[in-house]
Structure 1
Amino acid sequence: MIHIDRDAPTRDDVHQLLSEHLADMFATSPAESVHALDHSALAAPSITFWTAREDGQLLGCGALKILDSESGSLVPGSARYGEIKSMRTTAAARGRGVATLMLRHILDDARARKLERVYLETGTEDYFAPARRLYARNGFTECPPFADYTLDPNSVFMELRL
């Protein structure tokens, strides 16, 4: 059975998965269009990080960064918006529904926190097509840039009103 729990992005197996994630991002997008966070940035207080595991084996990860406004500034106690970060499934776990489980877990957490909206940024390249389909199947629609993002031909911005 797959379990999703809060975890540390600095844990050895997670660190390795996040390093693979960053390497893939830089291999598929220009450096100025890579917005993925490394393991140390994912440990920030404004970010909740989860992993999906089965019998202790890492299957994937995902995070929710809390924003207090669509502009992205953070004021403790006033969070109304969130951003999905670092959704990644291990190569061995792809095709098993891990990303869908993680996304639903993150959205359930966002609803429990009474967030109004959840945003994300993903790439425009074919490599990111499965991610865009996953988000669209779960109700996300394209939107203008949010927080500190700017228009970028290599980025797709999406939102889900909760």
Structure 2
Amino acid sequence: MEIKPDDLTGYEVAALIGEHLQSMTLHSPPESIHALNLEGLKKPEITFWSAWEDNELLGCGALKELDGRHGEIKSMRTSAAHLRKGVARRILERIMEEARQRGYQRLSLETGSMDAFDPARRLYESLGFQYCEPFSDYIEDPNSVFMTKEL
């Protein structure tokens, strides 16, 4: 598996982000969807990675700089054909490695509170993320959970 920075211009990545956004609308009310579209992911404070095996897209993830010491994990998504193969773990480990290289002291994330998000929460827990209060511009929301990890 090769995980590399991505400029979000490829068809495969656009389709995966579209799938991610569509999934969010199935599992979360509109006011609780915090996933970014392609344009939102192209902001200068966001670094986006895609994971590939040969010419097949396996998944993606992003790191948003909140400030010089705090980053946020965004747009974690595994292609449906590659679920339960360790793709998300590898992408998350790559994001954590980058956060440490940048000197961040903390990584945080928002994810859904519904059953559909159980696998994501278990992954984050397994890598040491703990539940926390809303951070950055987030507000308390029964459809969201917030997690953080000291680096």
Query: TM-score with structure 2 length normalisation?
Result: 0.99
C-alpha separation in 2, matches of 1:59 and 1:150: 32
Q: More displaced, 43-52 or 4-13?
A: 4-13
How high is the sequence identity, in percent, across the aligned residues? 54
CA deviation map 1:33-57 (0-9, x unaligned) = 0000001110100000000000021
Counterpart in 1 of 2:20?
21
C-alpha separation in 1, matches of 2:15 and 2:39: 13
Counterpart in 1 of 2:5?
6
List alignment gaps of at least 5 residues for structure 2.
Answer: none
Please tell me whether residue 145 in structure 1 is matched to residue 134 in structure 2: yes
Aligned pairs, number: 151
Preserved contact between residue 10 and residue 40 of structure 1 (Cα < 8 Å) = no
Counterpart in 2 of 1:104?
93
Deviation of the 1:91 alpha carbon: 0.6
C-alpha separation in 2, matches of 1:10 and 1:107: 24
C-alpha separation in 1, matches of 2:53 and 2:9: 19
Preserved contact between residue 67 and residue 81 of structure 1 (Cα < 8 Å) = yes
CA deviation map 1:15-40 (0-9, x unaligned) = 00000100010110000000000011
Letter in 2 for 1:96: K
Please tell me whether residue 156 in structure 1 is matched to residue 145 in structure 2: yes
Preserved contact between residue 49 and residue 62 of structure 1 (Cα < 8 Å) = yes
C-alpha separation in 2, matches of 1:9 and 1:34: 20
Deviation of the 1:8 alpha carbon: 1.8
Paired residues for 1:14-53 under 5 Å: 14-53=13-52
Deviation of the 1:100 alpha carbon: 0.4
Deviation of the 1:131 alpha carbon: 0.1
C-alpha separation in 1, matches of 2:55 and 2:92: 20
List alignment gaps of at least 5 residues for structure 1.
Answer: 69-78
Letter in 1 for 2:10: R
Paired residues for 1:69-80 under 5 Å: 79-80=68-69
Runs of 4+ in structure 1 off by over 6 angstroms are none
Secondary structure class of the residue paired with 2:38: coil
Counterpart in 2 of 1:75?
none
Paired residues for 1:78-93 under 5 Å: 79-93=68-82
C-alpha separation in 2, matches of 1:19 and 1:53: 18
Query: TM-score with structure 1 length normalisation?
Result: 0.92
Deviation of the 1:11 alpha carbon: 1.7
**TM-align CA RMSD:** 0.6
C-alpha separation in 2, matches of 1:95 and 1:10: 26
